[in-house]
Chain A
Amino acid sequence: MSTESENIEELVNRRYAHGFVTDIASEGLPPGLNEDVVRAISALKEEPEFMLEWRLRAYRQWLEMVEPEWAHVHYPRIDYNSISYYSAPKSDKDRPKSLDEVDPKLLETYDKLGIPLHERARLAGVAVDAVFDSVSVATTFKKKLSEAGVIFCSFSEAVKNHPELVRKYLGTVVPQRDNFFAALNSAVFSDGSFVYIPKGVRCPMELSTYFRINAANTGQFERTLIVADEGSHVSYLEGCTAPMRDENQLHAAVVELVALKDAEIKYSTVQNWYPGDENGVGGIYNFVTKRGDCRGANSKISWTQVETGSAITWKYPSCILRGNNSVGEFYSVAVANNYQQADTGTKMIHIGRNTRSTIVSKGISAGHAQNAYRGLVRVMPQAQGARNHTQCDSLLIGKECGAHTFPYMEIKNPSARIEHEATTSKISADQLFYCRQRGISEEDAVNMIVNGFCKEVFNELPMEFAVEAQALLNVSLEGAVG
């Protein structure tokens, strides 16, 4: 590199020297995306050089990519220059002082979901000192985890405190240029979670973002990296059943999982982004790249998700079954009501010998919603003895909604055994009348039938989460019939 260009770079960097960064930190970045913005984000987070370089590489690749158009969803074009890529954390004086100041409709929903009181305050963004002792709860858990050698922290902390681990694994499952949204995320990601489970350790508790101290504002470009070293085991819970409102329309997260030899990762998500109102106004566009790499022999990665939110959802949690005898699982419930559009599914890439995958997808459509399942099962030539079982069920509530299934199979090894089952059913008037004749209200009857339909997936969720997921589904389908 010439001296001249170094100087220019220095100059550019200087514009974000400390004092300036403080201003940004309290005011946020103006809308727009260019290299300077990427540098500013990295500087604000006081990242080491390698991280900045990594982001810049991603940004340059993103510039050359085009937004995908093949998903079964429709939305107005996003102007990436109208988005602010770093928004300042809300100051306490702009936040509600107590739950009394929070939108009563939101509180009503919390109530229906049975969310604990102290949790409600945090979710509604009440100023931190008004929130009960969630911090001290988190601290107790942190102690227990560090005793086991588990690292569980925000992504920013990991970059600072465990740069060698971040450097070794970041981008090794979802490369920067994997897709348009992953590249964008790689350039501008704000924060997220980092988990490392050392060799042979069984994580002593379910890890949940709830217990993460820095969970407050991970922003719209979240980045999560979970590494399970040889013979370790972890169950991670993402998200929250409470409706998350956000002014940011676009969310493009990346989640990378790495399971080494004999390791197991169970990743459960209950997501409830604001889906927009009954007329389809507002709501979050959720474009997520989630992928797990069963890198070692006998490893296992299991995705379970219950998805009710977002105006538009586009996500395909996937497994790369690289290790021999590795196992990938995908259990999903996707609900689309009103004008929601969901295009979700999974990819199972069989590379190792005797690899197995299971896909159970339950799609529920109500109102005017469109729900699409898109799944890919690929068996590579070397994947002797690969097996897949796919089950894809759709439930329709009402006449205006739709369900679509797009299974793709690419089988390059003749020993593979692939099974695919698909069903579409409707909640029939006869079923509802039957329940009502037994004294059960129409709404309860719908909930009962829907929960029955989703049972196989709920069974995969940790107990507490399953109860929440059920309540969430009921709230999401309120008014779907009648």
Chain B
Amino acid sequence: MLDIKDLQARIGETEILRGLTLNVKAGEVHAIMGPNGSGKSTLAQVVAGHEDYEVTGGSVQFKGKDLLELAPEERAREGIFLGFQYPVEIPGVNNAYLLKAAVNAKRQHQGLDEIDAFEFLKLAREKMALLEMDPKFLNRGVNEGFSGGEKKRNEILQMAMLEPDLAILDETDSGLDIDALKAVANGVNALRSPDRAIILVTHYQRLLDYIEPDFVHVLSAGRIIRSGDKSLALELEKKGYEWVREAANA
């Protein structure tokens, strides 16, 4: 589904991704771990198409298409979803309104009619129940005055409504208490299917207790220095990133 080869990207003069290769197939869940500043968010943003990042080498294919040719909104409509590490507030814009516009943008892309208002509300309420979110969040401004945890749940709500083929969740677990973490994990697990792929960017093993990954990768200085199964995450938790780095250099 997603095929990243030797990807190099920079922001301004700073090289951040330095030859990153990653292959994600439908049905798989990948966890990407790594120290602060190693380039995890950069990877997510580059895949989503953020224009501040300049791709200087390598390729990214998504469902057989050259992803780097597409505008961010086209990538989204094709089925890429990014759960932001820091979701932005958009004061005055109704949360439900944005959600509906997003759903309809995708439906239009697929040649479907706009979603019926009633059906939309029903669907949104269902998903919110799963995430243990109060329906009143629909009528607030997008992320306006939301707590950290509420913002993250809101990201998962959007994901649940959009049913992406590929979801990249950038530190969605950071700053969540245990109940919120479980709710978010529920949302993600509900989306798991043989047709979909999920990339979890995280610092902590604890998320992986709830969402079991098929693969774990360690990112350091813009490259994947080690890949393994979920036991790698446990080992990292015990030994720290230094251990992988040393092992990689040895």
List A residues at the B interface (Cβ < 8 Å).
425, 428-431, 433-442, 444, 448-449, 451-455
Task: Give complex CA distance A454, B77 in Å.
Answer: 28
Q: Given the interface contacts A428-B88, A437-B48, does A448 sit within 8 Å of B101 by beta carbon?
A: yes
Nearest opposing residue in chain A for B102, CB measure: A438
Bound Cα distance A166, B173 (Å): 71
Q: List the one stretch of B92-100, B116-124, B131-139 in contact with chain A.
A: B92-100
In the complex, chain B residues whose CB is within 8 Å of the CB of A439: 73, 76-77, 102, 105-106, 109, 162
Complex contact B94–A452 (CB within 8 A): yes
Please indicate the chain B residues that have their CB under 8 angstroms from the CB of A444 in the complex. Answer: 101, 105
Could you list 6 examples of A-B contacts with CB < 8 Å?
Answer: A429-B52, A434-B87, A436-B72, A437-B81, A441-B105, A452-B141
Q: Is the beta-carbon distance between B98 and A438 smaller than 8 angstroms? A: yes
Scoring B residues 74 to 90 as 1 if CB is less than 8 Å from chain A, else 0, what string do you get?
01110001101001101
Whether B50 is near chain A, meaning CB under 8 Å from some CB there, is yes
The answer to whether A448 and B109 touch across the interface, beta carbons within 8 angstroms, is: no
Q: How far is the CB of B139 from chain A (nearest CB, A)?
A: 12
Decide if A436 touches B93 in the complex (CB within 8 Å): no
Smallest Cβ-Cβ distance to A362: which chain B residue: B92
Complex contact B76–A436 (CB within 8 A): yes
Bound complex: CA of A444 vs CA of B73, how far in Å? Answer: 11
Given contacts A431-B88, A434-B84, contact A440 B73 (CB under 8 A): yes
A440 & B88 in contact (Cβ 8 Å cutoff): no
**Are B98 and A433 within 8 A (Cβ)?**
no
Q: What CA separation (Å) do A239 and B82 show in the bound complex?
A: 44
Query: B residues touching A (Cβ–Cβ < 8 Å)?
Result: 48-52, 71-73, 75-77, 81-82, 84, 87-88, 90-94, 97-98, 101-102, 105-106, 109, 141, 158, 162
Q: Which residues of B contact A451 (CB under 8 A)?
A: 92-93
CA–CA, A455 and B48, complex, Å? 30
**Chain A residues closer than 8 Å to B90, beta-carbon distance:** 431, 434-435, 448-449, 452
CA of A428 to CA of B143 in the docked complex: distance in angstroms?
15
**Residues of chain B within 8 A of A440, CB atoms compared:** 73, 98, 101-102, 105
Q: How far is the CA of A428 from the CA of B88 in the complex (A)?
A: 10
Q: Min CB distance, B227 to chain A, in Å?
A: 27
Closest 3 CB pairs of A and B: A452-B92, A439-B105, A452-B93
For the A-B complex, the count of residue pairs with Cβ-Cβ distances under 8 Å equals: 75
C-alpha spacing A430/B86, complex, angstroms = 10
Which residue on A lies nearest to B89, using beta carbons?
A431
Q: Which residue of A lies closest to B81 (CB)?
A: A437
In the bound assembly, the distance between CA atoms of A444 and B87 in angstroms comes to: 19
Further 7 A-B residue pairs, CB within 8 A, beyond A430-B88, A436-B72, A454-B92? A436-B73, A437-B84, A438-B76, A438-B162, A452-B90, A452-B93, A455-B92
B71, B91, B158: the one within 8 Å of A452 (CB): B91
CA distance A425 to B158 in the complex (A): 25
Q: Complex Cα distance A455/B139, Å?
A: 13
Q: Chain A's interface: helix, strand, loop or mixed, by majority?
A: helix
Q: In the bound complex, do residue B105 and residue A438 qualify as a contact, i.e. CB atoms below 8 Å apart?
A: yes
Contacting residue for B73 out of A425, A431, A441, CB 8 A? A441
Assembled-state Cα–Cα distance A431/B72 (Å): 13
State A434–B81 Cα separation when bound (angstroms): 11
A residues less than 8 Å from B51 (CB atoms): 433
Whether B88 pairs with A453 at a CB distance below 8 angstroms is: no
Does the CB pair A434–B76 fall under 8 Å? Answer: no
Q: How many Å from the CB of B168 to the closest CB on chain A?
A: 10
B50 nearest in chain A by CB position: A433
B71 / chain A contacts, CB cutoff of 8 Å: 436
Closest to A427 in B: B90
Q: Is the CB of A437 within 8 A of B76?
A: yes
CB-CB nearest in chain B for A453: B92
| A425 / chain B contacts, CB cutoff of 8 Å | 91
Q: Which residues of chain A come closer than 8 Å to B162, judged between CB atoms?
A: 438-439
Is there contact, CB below 8 Å, between A448 and B48? no
Complex CA distance for A455 and B90, rounded to whole angstroms: 13
Determine which residue in A431, A439, A448, A454 has the highest number of CB atoms from chain B within 10 A of its CB, and name it. A439
**B50 and A448 contacting across the interface, CB-CB below 8 Å:** no
Closest chain-A Cβ to B63's Cβ sits at a distance in Å of 16
| A362 nearest CB across to chain B (Å) | 10
| CA of A451 to CA of B90, assembled, Å | 11
Contacts of B98 in A (CB 8 A): 435, 438, 440, 448
Residues of chain A within 8 A (CB-CB) of B52 are: 429
Q: Which of B48, B82, B91, B97 has the most CB of A within 10 A?
A: B91
Query: Which chain B residues border A434 with CB–CB below 8 Å?
Result: 84, 87-88, 90
Chain B residues with CB below 8 A from A437, complex form: 48-49, 72-73, 75-76, 81-82, 84
Q: How far is the CA of A452 from the CA of B52 in the complex (A)?
A: 26
Complex-state Cα separation, A51 to B248, whole angstroms: 95
Q: What's the minimum C-beta distance from B179 to chain A, rounded to whole angstroms?
A: 26
Contacts of A441 in B (CB 8 A): 73, 105
Q: What B residues does A435 contact at CB under 8 A?
A: 90, 98
Residues of the A chain whose Cβ atoms lie less than 8 Å from the Cβ of B84: 434, 437
In the assembled complex, how far is the CB of residue B188 from the closest CB belonging to chain A, in whole angstroms?
18
Q: Return A259 CB to nearest CB of chain B, in Å.
A: 31
Residues of A within 8 Å of B105, CB to CB, are: 438-441, 444
Residues of B within 8 A of A431 (CB): 88, 90
B50 surroundings in chain A (CB, below 8 A): 433
